[in-house]
């Protein structure tokens, strides 16, 4: 079988390891006793961290993985449950021999990071959540509405204009430096593994909804930093909820025992790209202090 999404070009040397039945792609940059593990969001991949790793690898060992179903990792169909992803990440940490790690999770990756932190207190040092999924709560009726419109078939036939519009929605003002994520998404749609990628997205949305994290935030023991863009168009769901991103963030912040919150002006959902300089500074200060 040819490598999945082999037409994607990564900004760092890509390595591979085997976890259970999945070939997992990862990058490992920089040398330090302080380790950061980056977990991408829904439909995303390692290059979403390129502007962060390029800077932070000067002070930290920066590791990022493609979760199963995304990027260059295996496209075998799986449940998409947050516990599944957390288990893969736990095994990955053990496999590459990291004793202590600082987790940085974006969107869905934030929800995965919380799951991992709750169950692995000794190995997770600090928790950094960028526009994390799981803070917003949904009723059973709302969950069913979302499921109905996020079946794999709904992602299969998006044309270039729709792909472009979807990504632009994730930014306050789409920057030229983020053009690569649209170009790569178009390449993905031309790959033989594209259907399984769409299934991974659909299953992962269900996985996030089926395992709400809000009620467990009070059990987080690690020192935690939460960062949102004030102009996030994805959190909260604008069709179902009339609240604001900051209200969602502050309500959740009150649940986490040892937590700081940063709200970034003129910033959307992809905070690590749109405000990479500010994000890097915040991560560096939070881990080192």
Q: Is residue 246 over pLDDT 90?
A: yes
Please state the domain extents for the chain. Answer: 15-288
Q: Is residue 1 over pLDDT 70?
A: no
What's the rounded mean pLDDT across residues 258-269? Answer: 98
Q: Give the residue from 133, 6, 12 showing the smallest Cα distance to 73.
A: 6
Q: Is residue 96 over pLDDT 70?
A: yes
**pLDDT band at 121, cuts 50/70/90?**
confident
What DSSP designation does 137 have? Answer: -
Q: Is residue 6 over pLDDT 80?
A: no
The answer to whether the bond into 137 is cis (omega within 30° of 0) is no
pLDDT digits (tens, 9 = 90+) for 164-219: 999 999 999 999 999 999 999 999 998 899 999 999 999 999 999 999 899 999 99
- Phi, psi (degrees; rounded to nearest 5) at 262: -120, 125
Extract the tokens encoding 100: 């202590």
- Phi, psi (degrees; rounded to nearest 5) at 124: -100, 115
Q: Determine the Cα–Cα distance for residues 212 and 119; give it in Å rounded to an integer.
A: 15
- Please name the residue that has the structure tokens 């200060």: 285
pLDDT digits (tens, 9 = 90+) for 125-171: 999 999 999 999 999 999 999 999 999 999 998 889 999 999 999 99
Q: Give per-residue burial for 66-89: e unless 16+ CB within 10 Å, then b.
A: bbbbbbbbbbbebebbbebbbbbb
Exposed / middle / buried, residue 148 (Cβ in 10 Å: 0-12, 13-18, 19+): exposed
What's the rounded mean pLDDT across residues 53-61? Answer: 98
**233 three-state secondary structure:** coil
Task: Quote the pLDDT of residue 3.
Answer: 64
Residue pair 103/128 in contact (Cβ under 8 Å)? The answer is: yes
Question: Topology of 15-288 in CATH?
Answer: Rossmann fold (3.40.50)
* Mean of all residue pLDDT scores within the chain: 95
């Amino acid at each position: 079988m040819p490598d999945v999404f082999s037409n994607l070009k990564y900004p760092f040397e890509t390595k591979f390891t085997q976890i259970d039945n999945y070939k997992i792609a990862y990058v490992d940059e920089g040398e330090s006793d302080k380790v950061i593990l980056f977990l991408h969001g829904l439909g995303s991949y390692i290059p979403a961290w390129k502007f962060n790793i390029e800077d932070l690898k000067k002070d930290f060992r920066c590791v990022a993985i493609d979760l199963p179903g995304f990027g260059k990792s295996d496209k075998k169909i799986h449940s998409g449950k947050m516990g599944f992803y957390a288990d893969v990440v736990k095994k990955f940490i053990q496999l590459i021999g990291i004793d202590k790690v600082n987790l940085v999770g974006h969107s869905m990756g934030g929800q995965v990071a919380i799951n991992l932190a709750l169950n692995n207190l000794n190995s997770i040092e600090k928790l950094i959540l960028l526009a994390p999924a799981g803070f917003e709560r949904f009723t059973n009726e709302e969950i069913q509405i979302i499921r109905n419109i996020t079946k794999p078939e709904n992602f299969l036939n998006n044309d270039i204009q729709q792909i472009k519009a979807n990504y632009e929605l994730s930014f306050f003002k789409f920057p030229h430096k983020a053009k690569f994520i649209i170009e790569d998404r178009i390449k993905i749609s031309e790959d033989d593994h594209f259907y399984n990628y769409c299934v991974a997205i659909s299953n992962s949305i269900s996985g996030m909804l089926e395992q709400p994290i809000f009620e467990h935030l009070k059990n987080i023991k690690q020192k935690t930093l939460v960062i949102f863009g004030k102009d996030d168009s994805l959190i909260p769901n604008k069709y179902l909820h009339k609240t604001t991103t900051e209200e969602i963030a502050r309500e959740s912040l009150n649940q986490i025992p040892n937590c700081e919150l940063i709200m970034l002006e003129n910033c959307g959902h992809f905070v690590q790209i749109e405000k990479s300089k500010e994000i890097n500074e915040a991560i560096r200060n939070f881990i080192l202090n």
